[in-house]
Amino acid sequence: MQELKLYYMEACPFCKKVIRYMEKNHIDVELVDIRANTDNYKELIEIGGIDQVPMLLADGKPLYESSDIIKWFKDNM
């Protein structure tokens, strides 16, 4: 089983798109709200080097863009 984390921000419409897809398809991954605390935000930057959400971390590799994340779920879940 892969280690998966989705970094998101509550107000982000692209994050909501990914989360809706996950809920509809019963995909359960760890959700990390980058606004919940500064450590989450720092972790996002340390991993990928950019301030962009949604970001799916799949086995240590960052993936950005909501459509690409949904495609990854379709291909791998």
Q: What is the 3-state secondary structure (H, E, C) of the chain?
A: CCCEEEEECCCCHHHHHHHHHHHHCCCCCEEEECCCCHHHHHHHHHHHCCCCCCEEEECCEEEECHHHHHHHHHHHC
Q: How many domains, in total, are found in the chain? A: 1
pTM over 0.85: yes
> Residue 37 belongs to what domain range?
4-76
Model pLDDT, residue 1: 56
pLDDT in tens, 9-32: 999 999 999 999 999 999 999 999
What pLDDT band is residue 65 in, cutting at 50, 70 and 90? very high
Q: Which CATH number does the domain housing residue 9 bear?
A: 3.40.30.10
